[in-house]
Structure 1
C-alpha cells in the first residue's frame, strides 16, 4: 500500500472528525431491481475485499516499523564510527580496500556490520526500555485530539475528544475525575487556566466553553501513594510495562458537568483550539473560519478579531508570560501576534510547504513549528527570516510540545511514532511502539509535565486517534 495515499486518507479522516455535527446517518438500502440474494453476495465480497485491505495495511505498518528500526541502527552505526578511533580506523581500512579488491570490500563490510550491529542492538534495547508507558488513561469512545497538564496543584491532565467530551484525569492512578458534556460537537482542544481551577475547551460546534474544573483526589489515592513512590526508582530495565488502575475497578464515579460558566461565541466555523492569555483574564481562539478571536473570559465579550490567514487555522498558542500569540494555518504559514504593540504588530513565518499544524513557544525567545510537510523548525523571535534549525522526519507532524526545563521536543506523528529532539535538532530517541505499548494509530498531541525531572514517574503524556491517552516515563540523563 502506498504510504503517501495511506497518510492522506488518514488526514482526510482526521478533518472529517473535527466537523461540528456528526453525519452518521443509518444505512438505508435504496429500492432497486437487484435481488436480495445478489445484493447479499455483493456485500460479502466487499467485506472480503475490506479484510484483505486491512491485512495489507497491517503488513505495511509492520514493514515500516522494521524499516524504522533499521534506520535507527544505521544512524547509530554512523555515529559510533565517527566518535570512536577504532571505528575511524576501520572505516579508513574499508575505504582503502575499496580501491584494492571488491571481494575484500564485501568481507570487511560484513565483518564491520556484524560487529557494530551486535553493539548497537544492546544499546538500542537499553534506550528503548528507558522510556516506557506507565499509565493508560482509558475511557474516551473516539479519537483524542489533545492532552494538557494542569499548572497548579493537584496535578491532573485534561483530554479533548471527538466523542464530544473533555475529561480530567488523576495522574497517579489514571482515574477519570471529571467529564465535561456541554459541547454538541467534537472537542478539539482543552487548556487549563494558569492559576484557577478552570478550563477552556474549543469545539466543532463553533463555540468555546469556560467551565469549572475543580476536583478532589479520590479517597483511595492515599492507599496508592506507596505504590507511586515505589515507582519513582523505575529504571527501565526491571519494569517493561506498568498497567494502569482502571476507573471501573477503583469504583470512583467521575463528576459530570453539563453547562459552561461562560460560552464564547462569534466564530462561523469549527473552533479548532483556544488558549488563555497571560494572567488568565482573556481567551484567544482559532477557527476554520480563518480568524482568531480574543474574548473577555469573565463576560464572554468579543474584544477583537484577528484576520490575515488565507485558509483555515489549525492551532493557537499564547505565551505564558508575555502578550504574544502564535496562530497556525493550512495556508503553510504561522503568524506571531504582538499584543504589546498598540498597533498590533504581526509577523508572518513562511518556512513550510504544507499545512502548519502547531507552533509553541520555547525558552522565552524561540518558537517551534511543526507541519504536514514532515518538518519541525526552530525559530528565533529576534530574527525570523530563516529558522535556526530544521528537523526532517518521515511523517506528518501534529501538536508537539516542549519541556519547560530540559528544552526537549516531543514530536507526535501520523505514523504512530513519537520522537524526542533537543532545540538544536539533535535526535534524543524514539519512544517504543509495539504490541504492548505505544499508539496503534495516529498520535495527535503530546504534553510535558511542568515539573519534569529524571525521577518523575510520569513526565510525558500523549494522545491519539486510537482513543488512548498514555503517560510515559522518560528516563533522561542529567546535563553535563
Structure 2
C-alpha cells in the first residue's frame, strides 16, 4: 500500500527543492561570468604581451611568459573559488569519529557533563532516575547515584571540588560526593571494544549485567545536601562561579539561588511567563542565564546589589538552552531551529544567527576553539564557529552516532583526554568523540 505525503509537507518539500535549484542556477551563472572574464583578461594580456614584445628589445620570452603567469594566476584563483563552493556540499571530514561509548542507563539520557577537577570523569543524568559517573578512558561506570525519586534532568560538577549537583523531576536538587577511588576503576573492564558484535537486545542485557555488578559496590543513595523550595520539576541546576552557591531552574517559572553549604534559599528569581528549560552560571563572574518556553532568556547580574535583569528577545519558539561563550557573549538555541550569538552589551539583536533544520537542544561552546556544538532532535550534531560559520556535521550511521534525538553535548577542554566532545540522547547512549580541529584549518 502506497503512502503519500500530506499536502503541506509536499508543498514544503517543493519549496525547498525550488530554493536549492535557484541556488545552483545562481552559482552556475556566477561561474559562467567568471569564465567569460577570464577569457577577456587572457586575450587582453596576450595582445599586450605581443605589442610589448614588438616594441621592446629582444629580451627572450619574458613578456609572453609574464602574460602566461598572469593567466595561470587567474585560473588558479578561479579554481580555488569554485572549489570552495563545491566543498561546502561535501560530506564532513572523516576526522570526526566516535572513540568511546558509555552504556548502562535504562532510559533516555538528558545531560552529559565533564568534571572540572583533575579527575578524568564524565557525569550523566537520566530519565531512569539515576545519575552516573564514568571513567572517560576506560568507559567504566564508577559510581551510580540513586537518591532522586524522579527523572534526573541535569548534572553539573563543582568548579574545584569532587562534588556533583543534580536537578530532578522530584522537585529537588541534590549535592553529592562524586569522588571515585582509583581502585574502583578496575571493578569491570569496558565492553565497548566488542559491543558492536552483539545484536540489539542481547547487547543491552550484557551492559545491564555489567552495571548491576558495579551497583553492588559503587552505589550512592544519600546526598550531602538536598535543596528544596520549588513547586515544579527542576529541569537544571548549576554551580555559581565560586562554588559556594547554586542556582536552580524549574517548571514553576522561577529560579532559586541557594547557599550550597547550608541549603538556605538566598533569593528567588522571577519574571519568565512560562516554564524554564535551562540555567547556566558564568564560570568566573556572578552572572546566570535562564532559558524559558516563553521564547526568551534572561541574564541575571548578581554583582549589583539591585540585581540587574536583562531580557533577550529574538527567538519565536521556546529557548531550550543559553550558555556563556567567553566573557562577552551568550549563545542561545531554540525550538525555532536557530542558534543565535549575542553580545552581552547589546541585547537588541544577535551578532550572528545560525539556521538549522531541526529543534536545538542543550548546546555547548568550546572556549579553546570558539566552536559551538549543536545537538538536534533529528539525531544530528552540527559544529559552527562563534561567528556562525559552518564547520561540519558529525557522522551518523548504524555504527556511529545516535539513533534517537540528541539531548545534550559538552566539551572537554583538557588536552590529555581521549575525547574532546561528548553527547547523549534518548537512545540511552553517551558517546565520546574526537574532533580534529587542525585538519579543518
TM-score in terms of structure 2 length: 0.76
Cα gap change, 1:124 to 1:204, in 2 (>3 Å)? same
Structure 1 residue aligned with 2:285, among 322, 329, 335? 322
Q: Deviation digits for residues 164-203 of structure 1, max 9, x if unmatched?
A: 0000000001100000000000000010000111111000
Q: How many pairs does the alignment contain?
A: 374
Structure 2 residue aligned with 1:466, among 424, 427, 430? 427
Equivalent position SS for 1:253: helix
Aligned partner of 2:320 in structure 1 is 357
Equivalent position SS for 2:94: helix
Equivalent position SS for 1:129: coil
Mapped partners of 1:134, 1:88: distance in 2: 42
Q: Deviation digits for residues 27-71 of structure 1, max 9, x if unmatched?
A: xxxxxxxxxxxxxxxxxxxxxx9xx99xx9xxx9xxx9xx99xx8
Q: Please identify the structure whose Cα radius of gyration is greater.
A: 2
**CA displacement at 1:116 relative to structure 2:** 7.7
Cα gap change, 1:443 to 1:280, in 2 (>3 Å)? same
Mapped partners of 1:212, 1:249: distance in 2: 23
Mapped partners of 1:285, 1:266: distance in 2: 10
Cα gap change, 1:194 to 1:474, in 2 (>3 Å)? same
Mapped partners of 1:430, 1:188: distance in 2: 26
**CA displacement at 1:94 relative to structure 2:** 9.4
Aligned partner of 2:113 in structure 1 is 148
Aligned partner of 2:176 in structure 1 is 211
Aligned partner of 1:297 in structure 2 is 260
Mapped partners of 2:212, 2:173: distance in 1: 32
Aligned partner of 1:202 in structure 2 is 167
Contact 1:176–1:247 at 8 Å: present in 2 too?
no
Mapped partners of 1:368, 1:393: distance in 2: 15
**CA displacement at 1:358 relative to structure 2:** 0.4
Mapping for residues 120-199 of structure 1, pairs under 5 Å = 124=90, 127-199=92-164
Aligned partner of 1:375 in structure 2 is 338
Mapped partners of 1:91, 1:139: distance in 2: 58
CA RMSD of aligned residues (A): 3.8
**CA displacement at 1:157 relative to structure 2:** 0.6
**CA displacement at 1:124 relative to structure 2:** 4.0
Mapped partners of 2:418, 2:261: distance in 1: 36
Unaligned ranges ≥5, structure 2: 38-78, 190-195
Mapped partners of 1:285, 1:398: distance in 2: 18
Cα gap change, 1:221 to 1:128, in 2 (>3 Å)? farther
Aligned partner of 1:233 in structure 2 is none
**CA displacement at 1:251 relative to structure 2:** 10
Contact 1:175–1:246 at 8 Å: present in 2 too?
no
Asked if 1:457 corresponds to 2:418, the answer is: yes
TM-score in terms of structure 1 length: 0.70
Mapped partners of 1:337, 1:305: distance in 2: 11
Contact 2:142–2:184 at 8 Å: present in 1 too?
no
Aligned partner of 1:411 in structure 2 is 374
Mapping for residues 270-349 of structure 1, pairs under 5 Å = 270-349=233-312
Q: Deviation digits for residues 370-425 of structure 1, max 9, x if unmatched?
A: 00000000000111111000000000000000012001000000000000000000
Mapped partners of 2:115, 2:233: distance in 1: 25
Aligned partner of 1:384 in structure 2 is 347
Q: Deviation digits for residues 112-154 of structure 1, max 9, x if unmatched?
A: 9xx989x859x945x4421011111000000000000000111
Equivalent position SS for 1:184: coil
Contact 2:111–2:407 at 8 Å: present in 1 too?
yes
Aligned partner of 2:61 in structure 1 is none
**CA displacement at 1:90 relative to structure 2:** 4.8
Mapped partners of 1:93, 1:177: distance in 2: 62
Unaligned ranges ≥5, structure 1: 1-48, 96-111, 225-240
Mapped partners of 2:197, 2:118: distance in 1: 24
Aligned partner of 1:445 in structure 2 is 408
Equivalent position SS for 2:336: coil
Contact 1:151–1:450 at 8 Å: present in 2 too?
no
Cα gap change, 1:332 to 1:219, in 2 (>3 Å)? closer
Structure 2 residue aligned with 1:429, among 363, 386, 392? 392
